[in-house]
A and B are shown apart, each in its own frame.
Chain A
């Protein structure tokens, strides 16, 4: 399998490696470009829990938009709990402030009995629109996100996938 690589000149080998490096770079830059466009640190997220059923199921892929500063009650937002890196997808049920005052939001999962006050960091009773919100949900694709859930629950899958991709691209001569 690697015999074809052994016969390559150094420049050609560099060109083959470049092909794979460009695949990774372009994927990453497309992601960053989407981030810049939506002004969101993570413009596409996967629903991890069932707290928003029946609207969103575990494994749904959500598309976010973060340029609307006047978030309304009833919008579904994604936020990070301060200090933790887990995105939570819940609906806004109360808002305070807005306009010239900083906007503060209270959220609750459709499928939860209580609002999110328990989930917020200690001493935090509301979300700050400008600080904590990753974006509002503007669209979704059902079920596709399950791949991401698999990848995070079985991290060796990530490595295996990457190695497979690398081999495919570097050994291909088109």
Chain B
């Protein structure tokens, strides 16, 4: 996961890499993921594709005149299914990137980014239905050349979200050096971790430049 490099200027890439990492991290903490929303989306989508495929097959075999009426019906059906599909993505999914249960407690996480703003916003809904919003800049867990670093991301999650912190005490308790938003932990094979490194040090290590946060 940390091996893949993305463009650090492409907001969609940043968001989708972070979303994937979030899901992977939570699954590794034994949150059991619920796929209901994604399943409905897949079902609606592939139903539409099936309608289109059937229409194509009928038209190919029987020609235009014989299938005119059924094609009209199919076009209307497709419009309805596709409309439902779009509505599902827009309204119901609403940016949801993870839904799952751990220890009997349900958690639901939606993410979003605003245009031209490299900040990752999370809306976490717990079992009681209360929603909390947390955010952090992408610079906290991406290097300047676009490598994702898991550790600071996990630390931020564990500290910001109660349910995750309970599941991962180690990351929740770790000292991340104080500044809000965080600098990237000085991660590299062989270097001791310790985001306690003073922000003024710029080490030339293997694997990309590290991002320094000033002030």
A interface vs B, CB < 8 Å? 3-4, 7-9, 11-12, 14-15, 18, 21-22, 24-26, 28-29, 32-33, 35-36, 39, 41, 173-174
Chain B residues numbered 65-83 whose CB sits less than 8 Å from any CB in chain A? 65, 68, 71-72, 74-75, 78-79, 82
B interface vs A, CB < 8 Å? 1, 4, 12-13, 16, 20, 23, 35, 38-39, 41-42, 45-46, 48-49, 51-53, 55-56, 59, 63-65, 68, 71-72, 74-75, 78-79, 82, 85
Interface on chain B toward A: helix, strand, loop, or mixed SS?
A: helix
Indicate if the CB atoms of A18 and B49 lie closer than 8 Å. Answer: yes
Contact with A21, one of B49, B55, B63 (Cβ below 8 angstroms): B49
Indicate if the CB atoms of A18 and B74 lie closer than 8 Å. Answer: no
State A36–B78 Cα separation when bound (angstroms): 14
State A24–B56 Cα separation when bound (angstroms): 11
How many whole Å from B39's CB to the nearest CB in chain A? 8
Indicate if the CB atoms of B42 and A11 lie closer than 8 Å. Answer: yes
Given A11-B42, A14-B42, A15-B41, decide whether A28 and B52 contact each other with a Cβ distance below 8 A.
yes
Which chain B residue lies CB-closest to A173?
B16
- The A/B interface has a contact count, at CB < 8 Å, of 71
Interface on chain A toward B: helix, strand, loop, or mixed SS?
A: helix
How many whole Å from B12's CB to the nearest CB in chain A? 4
Which chain A residue lies CB-closest to B13?
A173
CB neighbours (8 Å) of A15 from chain B are 38, 41-42, 45
State A3–B20 Cα separation when bound (angstroms): 14
State A22–B83 Cα separation when bound (angstroms): 12
State A12–B16 Cα separation when bound (angstroms): 11
Indicate if the CB atoms of B71 and A35 lie closer than 8 Å. Answer: yes
Which chain B residue lies CB-closest to A25?
B52
CB neighbours (8 Å) of B75 from chain A are 29, 32-33, 36
State A35–B75 Cα separation when bound (angstroms): 10
Indicate if the CB atoms of B78 and A18 lie closer than 8 Å. Answer: no
A-B residue pairs, 3 tightest by C-beta: A25-B52, A41-B64, A173-B16
CB neighbours (8 Å) of A14 from chain B are 42
Indicate if the CB atoms of A25 and B4 lie closer than 8 Å. Answer: no
CB neighbours (8 Å) of B78 from chain A are 25, 29
Which chain B residue lies CB-closest to A7?
B1
Indicate if the CB atoms of B42 and A18 lie closer than 8 Å. Answer: yes
